[in-house]
A and B are shown apart, each in its own frame.
Chain A
């Protein structure tokens, strides 16, 4: 392992990094929220972000698709490249970036429309109009989200009539319908039942073959189960910027972490 300032970098084969983050600092106005972040996110794998509440995991996640741009007064220093291109450069359209880097939230948020229209929403927004093309995209996205069998006969029913777990998979299908490269998942299983959690985790395992997944989770067992690499974030003192303390193979993080703070957190000694 080669230590970088602000992180430990796992050995990644050349060219396999989807995201490369270097010396990233992030500010909410005057508040310095993140400092000195360095990380390479491996393509087509699951990377978990763990750490206590308020440690900057979600803030960092939202830097990766420029969701923070929507908050006035935020500022980013350093670089984040996606497939080698700086996502904060002037030539990058944030809307197109968010298509490539989709996001799933803690609370399933289907639109108040039919299951079909929920999934077709993105492709329509990007100009797809033909019914047969849309049908194919919707079916494929629902199949990839392991929801097709459950909803294929009720496509006209409202998305909000589904169970919480189904709604979350519907949201995943909605994101998949626009063919993203990356899926950012911000505590995607915190608000759903254990059976649905299992389904979402199985889904992540399948999707990682074609999509790069980054998941923020408070459930360390989940991080250990679903991810290949894990990053530990920590805000050492109230009011200070959060740091990326350690980044490594999930197996290493959960058996022999390098940093005492990582070990203390994951063994429940604080947090």
Chain B
């Protein structure tokens, strides 16, 4: 029944996964550009955001079109409704990736203390894991994995706090200017993971039909 419609839903879901892959790649490159002071890579990251933005917009349009023409209900409706939120989160993750790349551009000329690079690299790796898990959970409707996202996010928040503590030990004025860009980058990474957790909440709704907030404290924070 409704083969064309079913295929359209599958293709839309595949589009989300594809966009998610781009976001993951972009985040990874943004962190690499920051840690290695690679300005060229940072520029490529910044340029890649347009593609993510247009994909997210296209996803929303596609979801709207299916809603308007196919009268989706139940799990199909929940999928399409969730897509609007998921694409919005992915678009913001892309923006945060751009911010990290811009921080890389600002800080590339000066190398700061090694410990802070190590911390941001470690934080980047953890964020990468959360994003991969988020995308896997979406692709396979894996509720258990969706619920784990919040737990996986916690060490990222801790690393951000640790980053802040390391920062407070710096004395030199130049270091502080450099470090303020770095701490912002760490904050952006932490927010990217928060978006992934928010997507996890949407996944739970998508699969079960129940709205659940994993953590109310994320609400109202800046993107």
Chain A contact residues, CB within 8 Å of chain B: 220-221, 224, 254-257, 262-263, 266-271
Contact = CB atoms under 8 A, between A and B. Distances in A.
Interface in B173-223: 208-210
A254 B73 contact: yes
Contacts of A255: 73-74, 77-78, 209
A270 B210 CA distance: 25
A268 B5 contact: yes
A256 B78 contact: yes
A262 B75 CA distance: 11
Interface of B: 1-2, 5-6, 71-78, 208-210
Nearest to B3: A268
Question: For A262, A266, A267, A270, which residue has the most chain B Cβ atoms within 10 angstroms?
Answer: A267
Contacts of A267: 72-76
A269 B74 CA distance: 12
Contacts of B5: 268
Given A255-B209, A256-B209, A263 B74 contact: yes
A146 to B, nearest CB: 26
Contacts of B76: 267
Nearest to A270: B1
A261 to B, nearest CB: 11
A52 to B, nearest CB: 11
Closest 3 interchain pairs by CB?
Answer: A256-B209, A268-B2, A254-B73
Contacts of B2: 268-269
Given A255-B78, A256-B78, A224 B73 contact: yes
A48 to B, nearest CB: 13
Given A220-B71, A221-B71, A266-B73, A271 B78 contact: no
Nearest to B78: A255
A267 B209 CA distance: 15
B209 A269 contact: no
Nearest to A257: B74
Contacts of A224: 73
Given A220-B71, A221-B71, A271 B1 contact: yes
B1 A220 contact: no
A257 to B, nearest CB: 6
Given A255-B209, A256-B209, A263 B75 contact: yes
Contacts of A254: 73-74, 77
Nearest to B5: A268
Nearest to B208: A256
Given A256-B208, A267-B75, 13 more contacts: A220-B71, A220-B73, A221-B71, A224-B73, A254-B74, A254-B77, A256-B74, A256-B78, A262-B74, A263-B74, A267-B76, A268-B2, A271-B1
25 contacts: A220-B71, A221-B71, A224-B73, A254-B73, A254-B74, A254-B77, A255-B73, A255-B74, A255-B77, A255-B209, A256-B74, A256-B208, A256-B209, A256-B210, A257-B74, A267-B72, A267-B73, A267-B75, A267-B76, A268-B2, A268-B5, A268-B6, A269-B2, A270-B1, A271-B1
Nearest to B209: A256
A256 B72 CA distance: 12
B33 to A, nearest CB: 43
Contacts of A221: 71
B73 A269 contact: no
Nearest to B70: A268
